Structure 1
Amino acid sequence: MILDKQKTKIIFAVPALLLLTAFFGNLFAEGWNWSPLDFLVAAVLLFVMAFLVNLVIRSGKTNASKFIICFAILLVLALVWIELAVGIFGSPFAGS
């Protein structure tokens, strides 16, 4: 069984690994052109999401409600990320 401390480490390791992957992609992949501000925004989005998921997992709710809340958090993250990348909603923050 995974302990709470181990769950927390795993939850926060995922955003760190994603950012590390993006960093190396930015260095070696042609056409990948992130600025330091892009990395900062990605870090904030990913670590806030990890913090919220960690809060939900540690709550005393049922497993079904934890799953639904975590899914909603991930859905919001995906929609914000897509909006910032390509602008599906046409907000002032939309990318390219």
Structure 2
Amino acid sequence: MGKRSVLRVLAGTGAILLLPLLAMQFTREVNWTALDFVVAAVLLLGVGFALELAVGKLANMKQRLLWVAAIVLAFVYLWAELAVGIFFHFGS
């Protein structure tokens, strides 16, 4: 993974995290704590680096698509689980 890939993941993560930060300035509906931003950053960085690795290392397009789909689905599930608890209720 090159310097350009790392910068792309960092920039993408930063850009995505700016959305809730900006929303917090205009509405009370979005109320993130510092821990929320840290957890989101860790998840987004992990997904970004995993996607860069999968796309960069796998030559077979079918394998790429399967890995990308698996990574994205795992991210969406984990995000939803942390947000509302689909199967588990952490902290209840």
TM-score, normalised relative to structure 2: 0.83
Displacement of 1:80: 0.4
Quote how far apart the aligned CAs of 1:11 are. Answer: 4.2
In 2, the alpha carbon distance for the partners of 1:31 and 1:45 equals 22
Identical columns (%): 32
5+ residue gaps, structure 2, are: none
Given candidates 30, 50, 53, the residue that maps to 2:51 is 53
- In structure 2, relative to structure 1, the CA distance for the partners of 1:18 and 1:93 (3 Å cut) is farther
Structure 2 equivalent of residue 63 of structure 1? 61
Following superposition of structure 1 onto structure 2, how do residues 1-96 of structure 1 map, counting pairs within 5 Å? 8=5, 9-92=7-90
User: 2: CA distance between counterparts of 1:62 and 1:76?
Assistant: 21
> Deviation per CA, 1:54-84, whole angstroms, max 9, x where unpaired?
1111104311111110110010000000011
Q: CA RMSD in A?
A: 2.0
Aligned length: 90
Distance 1:20 1:50 in 2: 16
Q: Bigger relative contact order, structure 1 or 2, given CA contacts below 8 A and separation 6+?
A: 2
Query: Offset of 1:23 from its aligned partner?
Result: 1.0
What is the deviation of 1:17?
A: 1.1
5+ unaligned residues in a row in structure 1: which ranges? none
> TM-score with structure 1 length normalisation?
0.80
